[in-house]
Each structure stands twice: as structure tokens, then as C-alpha cells.
Amino acid sequence: MTDTHGASVYLTFDDGPDKEYTPRILDLLAAARIKATFFMIGELAYRFPDLVRRVQAQGHRIGNHTYSHRHPWFVTAARARREVADGSAAIADIIGERPGLFRPPHGAVRRAMAEESARLGEEMVLWNLSAIDWGPKGTAAGIAGRLARVKGGDVVLMHDSARGINRPGELVGVLPQLFRRIEEGGLSPAPIPLKLKG
């Protein structure tokens, strides 16, 4: 890892906030002194506003993950735009500022959403390494194996919510191992900068 020593790595958590798993992940991040980025669903942010504020207070970055996580390809263009705008507004209502980042549900890029996020000043951020912490592959062993590949410059996709087929209960057990690997590799975990591409 000599070529990536000191390089940043960007840990991201989608689909929250979740009343059980978001606090557990925040505790683990705090213990390891690691900052991350949380892409939040607007309707869940309204349901658990104290968790949104806690994420912000602990120095993590908050991104927009739409209002209700509808699949971008299965809604009208008008609804797709509204999902982005309403998700952004929900977060702004709670923390007093719009998020500067946007991630489309399922990583499905749709022009209407891209245009709306750009209009709101939110940069679209995807990922290049997924924990696949969901579905049949979302076992602790499988997640650990995939996260063992982390290297400098990676944007890592994980989930802090038990929504749908997500398996955050498997993820939380391997996060300390990931954090040790990051430290031993000389990597610098950080929130996604607001101008990652620039």
C-alpha cells in the first residue's frame, strides 16, 4: 500500500437514518475517530430528526438520497425531480442547510434527477467499492472479504438502515475490522468533499 499511504478513503452509509443501526454505527465511528458520509432518505430524516442532528454534530457529512427512495427508472420525470427536491428540503428543514451531495437510489442515474440535483447545487456521488451488505451475499464473512479490498481513493458503499433487504446487523460486526485495516494501511478516512470531482 505504499502508493496509497496517507490517501483518503470515503466511507458512505445509505438509506438511513435508522433508529437501531445508525446510533450503533455512529458509536463505532466515534470510537475509531473516523468521519463518514450519510446519504439520508428524506421521510426517514423527518421520522428521526434527532439522529440527523447527531450525525451532523459528530462531524459527518449528510447527503440527499431522495425523499422516499423510489427507483429512479420507475417514476415519472416530474416525480423523479420532486424526490430530489423534497429529500433536499427535508434535510435542510432539520439541519438548517441543504446537503451539497446527492446519491440516486440504487445508483441508478436518471437525467431528471441529475438536472434537479445540479439545480440545487448538489453534486452526484456514486461509489466504486460496495460492501454488498444486503441480500443473500450480505453475510459478515462476505462483507468483510469485500471491504478487505479497500484502498486509497475508494468511495465505499454501506448501509446504516435495515430497510428492505439491507443487512446492517451483519455490517456492524465487521466495521471494527475495516477500521483497523484502514489505520494499518495508513489511509485517511474522511467525509466526501463537496467537490470530489474538482
Catalytic residues: 14, 159
Q: Which helix (H) or strand (E) holds 124?
A: strand 123-124
How, if at all, do strands 129-130 and 8-16 pair? unpaired
Q: Which helix (H) or strand (E) holds 71?
A: none
Strand partners, 159: 14
Q: Which long-range contacts (CB under 8 A, 24 or more apart) does 70-79 make?
A: 70/105, 71/105, 71/106, 71/108, 72/104, 72/105, 72/106, 72/108, 72/109, 72/110, 72/112, 72/113, 73/108, 73/110, 77/110, 77/111, 77/112, 78/112
Q: What is the largest CA-CA distance in the chain?
A: 48
**Angle, in degrees to the nearest 10, between helices 21-32 and 49-57:** 10
